[in-house]
Structures are given as structure tokens and as C-alpha cells.
Amino acid sequence: MCGIVGHVGCIGAQRSREVVMGGLARLEYRGYDSAGIALANDNGIDVIRAVGKLVNLQDAIDAGHPEDALAGIGHTRWATHGRPTVANAHPHSTPDGRFSLVHNGIIENADALRAQLQASGREFSSQTDTEVVVHLIQEAYDCAETPQWDGTIDGADEHTHSVGARLIAAMRQVTARLEGTFTLLVVTSDCPNIIVAARRSSPLVIGLGENENFLGSDVLAFVEHTSRAVEIDQDQIVAVTARGVTVLDQSGQRVPLKEYEVDFTSDRATKGGWPTFMDKEINEQPEGVANTLADRLDSHSRLALDELRISEDVLRSVDKIVMIGCGTASYAGQVARYAIEHWCRIPVEVELSSEFRYRDPVVTEKTLVVAISQSGETMDTIMAIRHAREQGAKVVAIVNTPGSTISRESDAVLLTHAGPEIAVASTKAFTAQVTACFILGLFLSQVRGNKFADEVADYMEKLGEVPGKIQQILDQGETVRQFARTMVDATSVIYLGRHVGFPVALEGALKLKEICYIHAEGFAAGELKHGPIALVDEGQPVIIIVPTPRRPELHNKVLANIQEVRARGARTIVVAEEGDSSVDEFAEIVFRVPQVPTLYAPLLAVVPLQIFACELATAKGLDVDQPRNLAKSVTVE
């Protein structure tokens, strides 16, 4: 939620502006209510802000002709405090224009701080929580009593060092007063060669270049310029100049740089010829699932999860699993529950991260918490993880973003290898998450002796066939797309599923809500008669995920459910296995999926539902990748 970019460098007059705008374009998925940029040069700081998409900011920049800069910071906003107006857009500056600052997160004690600042005569021009921070920075910077910071800043000449040291001292003092979550980047006109940044529970990574350095909410902000990245840990402060990066811990001591190589190139984060990122990401699912499965078996065909870092003894002692996640990630957990309980005979609960800690859940050292997140930055999930670990539980994170907060705060990480997901609506992350959960479940069943190694290898082999089968569905996508285009006037769609089809129904409905703005609900097919069937009248579209006929106890019941809604006038759209002709007479249209073991069916059944939502949103002329009111990475609770 909110994207932040920074650049310091001395290689070309417009470099900072171009880098920051390019970075914001790649981070726009994190928020797009408004955007702004501050460019620091020897004459001061130019701040330009605009409401709406980044293109409006670009127009404002073109009209404003800002001066060439030595450093720049930028922000793309998802509004929390204050409506999306120019006044509330970041960067926020002091009234004298000496300091400009961008912020991602929420300052929880902003009201109290604002009252104190107002009492001392400071005037505010926005309703944001952020504006207090820039005032506090100036106050601390200008105050002779602020304790000096006396370390060395890499790559700083004498003047940069003296300004930078004061700015670091101010940042240390101010962040100690802040409650809540933040990534902060500040520039000052006293010296335009340095950016000082800080983070607590919001993301920040540094990119290392030649005679220039970068800052970003994630590596997408700068991956087109460098693949060398540095992780910034909780409560660290960092001073970035063109020729150096200095990271300090909470006590002000310098810490070694935690450098790593970004393992994807910038073209992974472009549309690559597809009309939307969502289209592209739906079509990347065979690769995402295959990459998540790759290299998991050792030379004896045993599942080996070296990255898991939790001892097998501990895994054997687990007596309950709790899967946590939000939105799509929580539905991936719901799918996994059926498989893990079946394979491991351990009770599995699935809980929304945002509800987990408020329920006072029964969590002990024998509980394994599985936290699922594409971004690895979802604040609800971070808080749930912290709560679980405080109770002594071990936490395995299933994340798509290496180095993210969730991966760092968990005991172990199982990476999905779906590649960067840019569209707000999650697609390839879901299938990769379900795959990773299956791998984890099979590994547990192997370690705990519920399954023999050859059985696990068998399950893995069948999972290995899934990417090819997803590809078959993609190849037949035109049937789904054609039908979607006939549905532009739909105002409500019901999704039904039973067993593993139920979370697929929930996921299908979520896709329709978030990108098509159509009211959609997923129900367990068996629940229909307990209330939701009252919603069905003439012409109501109902999408039904039909289980394989090889499981007649499920299949027959869902066939009966289709007939129940049809009898009440519903239009029935059916997702069914190839060769299952029993559905034909009850369906207006059937989307076919290949045969797989029942537990794996969600990996296929979800694909037509994704294509359906994507095409319908396109046909309605909506912004598929950046739906209203949403952001990709939800870093507030």
C-alpha cells in the first residue's frame, strides 16, 4: 500500500526524475489515488503532485519544467488519512520548503503529535498523518539539543557528511517518537546529495548502482537499473549518497550491508505484449506452478525442503496446523486444508489473518502456523505471525517475494516461484500458493510417516502434470472469453462449489467483485438450501464448479444443486471435467478442465474463472490491473 522510490546520483541531469518516475510506474500497483515527486538540487526542492494515476503527475511535471536534480523521492498513494487530493498527496514538505518527505504506513499517534506541533505554532496544509513527521524532522534537525550522530557516512564529502549526520540524528530522534508503521524517505535543500530513510514494519530495499543508488518499496522500483539489492531490517536507518550506503541499527551503530542478487530481470515486470498484466499472469501459471515444483526431490526421490529450517523433530511434534492469509491467499489455505488433513491426519484450521489474534486462538509450541502471502508485506498477516510466535508456535511462510517482511519474520520460508505479480487481482500467486501448500503437506506426511516416500513421489509426479493441464485450459480460453463478453450487463453472480470446489467458488467470486465491480458471492453448494437459494430468480447467473464424476458422492450432490437453481430460473454456467457429459443438459455453457486427482482440481478449476473475470472487466471497459479503491500490497491493518 503506497509505493516509495528514491534516487541519488550524479550521472545525467534528468536521471533522478526519470528513475523516480520509472520506479513509480512499476510500483503504481501499490496505490494509485495520487502521486508526487520531490527533486532536490542546489537551488532547493521542486515538489510536484497530482491526483489520480501517474499519467497526471507526468503531465504536471511536463508543465512544471522542474530543475535538474541530484536526488529525487517519489510516492504513489493509497489513501488512509485524508481524501485523495493534491494537498494530501506526498511528498509532504515543511512550509519553508527545506525538507520533503514520503511515507508508507500509518503513524498511529499522529493526532497527538500534530496537536503538540500546532501548540508550538506550526501550520499544517494536509489531513495526513505523514505531515507531522516532516515537521518533527525539521524541529529535531534545527534543534541544538538533538544528540549528535558521530559516525561516518559512506560516499559523503564534508558538507554532505555534516548535513547527513544532522539528518540522521533528527531521523533517529523522530522515529523514536513515532508509533505505528512507516517507511520514510527525506531530502533537504541544505544538501541535495543525500537521502535519509527509516523503516518500521513497512518495506524498504536499497539498490546499489555505479555512482548512483536507489531506494524502493520493493526491488521492482529499480530492477531495470541494478540487480544488486540490500535488505533493510526493522527499525534501521539508512543514509544513501551517490557513492555509498550506510545502514544503522536502532542504537545508531553501523551494520554490514545485507546484499543479495535480485533473481528476475525487469522484463518480468512488463506486460510483454499482453493487453493487461492480469492476462499475462493468468497465462504464466503453467510456468509458476512448474517453477514452484522444481528441484524438490532429492536423488532418492524423497521430497527435500532444505529451505524449511525447522527440524524434523519439531515437525513430527506438531499437533495442529493453522493456515493464515488474506483474500486469495486465505482461499489457497482453504484448498490446502483438504489435502493436508487427508495426507497428514493433523487438524488444520484456516483463519483470516485479520481475525486471528483477536480470537485469542489456542496456539502452543506444537502448533504450526502456515502464513500465506504473495507480497510478503500484508500487515494483517505480519501481525498474526507475531502473535503466533509470541505464543511459541513455529511459523512457515509461503511467500512469493524473497526478502519480504513476512519471510524474514517467520521461522521458515517456502518460496513460490511465480515471478512478480503486478495485477491487483491475484492469479498466478494463487496457483503457486496452492502448489507450495501441497508440497508442504506432502513433506509433512513423509516426515511424520503418514505416507511412504514412493507414495509422496507419486503425488509429486501427478502434481508435475498440472502445468501442462493448465496450459490446455489456457489454449481453450476463447470459449470462456466469448461467453464473458455476453455478461456485461450482469449485476450479480453466484458461485457454488463443494469440497475443494468451495474455496474455488470463493476465489472466483472475489475476482469478479474486485475487477468487474459486480456483486458476487461464493457459497458451499450444500449451504444453498439453508438460505442463499432465496437469491435465485429468473435469469440469475450461477457458476457451479462440478467435482469429478469419479467421486460420485460429491458429483451427484452438485448435479442436484444445479437442478435446484435451474428449477428457479437460474442461468447455469458449469466448470466440469472433460468427458463429464452428465452436466451438459443442465448447463447453458460448460467450461472444460482436464482430469486430475480430486485434491488438485482447484489448480485447474480456478483458471476459467480468472479468464472469465479478466475478459468481463475488459469488456466493461474497466481498469483490469488497477481496480478502484484497491492496492496490491496491503500494508495497513
The distance of closest approach from Cβ of residue 375 to ligand M6R in the complex, given in angstroms and rounded to an integer, is 3
- For position 514 contacting ligand M6R by CB under 6 A, the verdict is yes
Instruction: Give me the catalytic one of 2, 344, 437, 614.
Output: 2
By CB under 6 A, how many residues form the interface with ligand M6R?
16
Alpha carbon distance 563, 570 (integer Å):
9
2 as an active site residue: the answer is yes
Instruction: Give me the catalytic one of 428, 469, 620, 632.
Output: 632
Instruction: Please list, in sequence order, all residues whose beta carbon lies within 8 angstroms of the beta carbon of residue 325, skipping any fewer than 6 positions away.
Output: 332, 333, 352, 353, 371, 372, 373, 378, 381, 433
- For position 104 contacting ligand M6R by CB under 6 A, the verdict is no
The piece of 39-47, 157-165, 371-379, 463-471 that touches ligand M6R (CB under 6 A) is 371-379
- For position 326 contacting ligand M6R by CB under 6 A, the verdict is yes
- For position 183 contacting ligand M6R by CB under 6 A, the verdict is no
Q: Cα 322 to chain center, whole Å?
A: 20
- Bridge partners (DSSP) of residue 48 are 37
- For position 202 contacting ligand M6R by CB under 6 A, the verdict is no
Smaller CB separation from ligand M6R, 47 or 424: 424
Residue 159 host element (H or E): helix 158-177
Selection from 599, 476, 630, 539 nearest residue 32 by Cα: 630
The distance of closest approach from Cβ of residue 609 to ligand M6R in the complex, given in angstroms and rounded to an integer, is 12
The piece of 90-98, 167-175, 368-376, 616-624 that touches ligand M6R (CB under 6 A) is 368-376
Alpha carbon distance 137, 154 (integer Å):
22
Instruction: Please list, in sequence order, all residues whose beta carbon lies within 8 angstroms of the beta carbon of residue 486, skipping any fewer than 6 positions away.
Output: none
- For position 625 contacting ligand M6R by CB under 6 A, the verdict is no
For residue 602, whether the previous peptide bond is cis, meaning omega lies within 30 degrees of 0, is no
- For position 510 contacting ligand M6R by CB under 6 A, the verdict is yes
Selection from 41, 79, 46 nearest residue 60 by Cα: 46
- For position 137 contacting ligand M6R by CB under 6 A, the verdict is no
The piece of 173-181, 221-229, 369-377, 572-580 that touches ligand M6R (CB under 6 A) is 369-377
CA distances, 112 to each of 179, 185, 326 (Å): 11, 22, 31
The piece of 177-185, 216-224, 323-331, 598-606 that touches ligand M6R (CB under 6 A) is 323-331
Alpha carbon distance 423, 276 (integer Å):
8
**Interacting residue with ligand M6R among 187, 205, 329, 444 (CB under 6 A):** 329
- For position 381 contacting ligand M6R by CB under 6 A, the verdict is yes
Q: What are phi and psi of 93, to 5 degrees?
A: -130, 160
344 as an active site residue: the answer is no
- For position 327 contacting ligand M6R by CB under 6 A, the verdict is yes
- For position 16 contacting ligand M6R by CB under 6 A, the verdict is no
Interface mask toward ligand M6R for 416-445; x: CB under 6 A: --------xxx-------------------
Alpha carbon distance 605, 547 (integer Å):
9
**Interacting residue with ligand M6R among 374, 572, 618, 626 (CB under 6 A):** 374
Alpha carbon distance 293, 302 (integer Å):
13
Selection from 434, 436, 429, 450 nearest residue 308 by Cα: 436
- For position 522 contacting ligand M6R by CB under 6 A, the verdict is no
Binding site for ligand M6R (CB under 6 A): 326-329, 373-375, 378, 381, 424-426, 510, 514, 633-634
- Active site (catalytic) residues: 2, 632
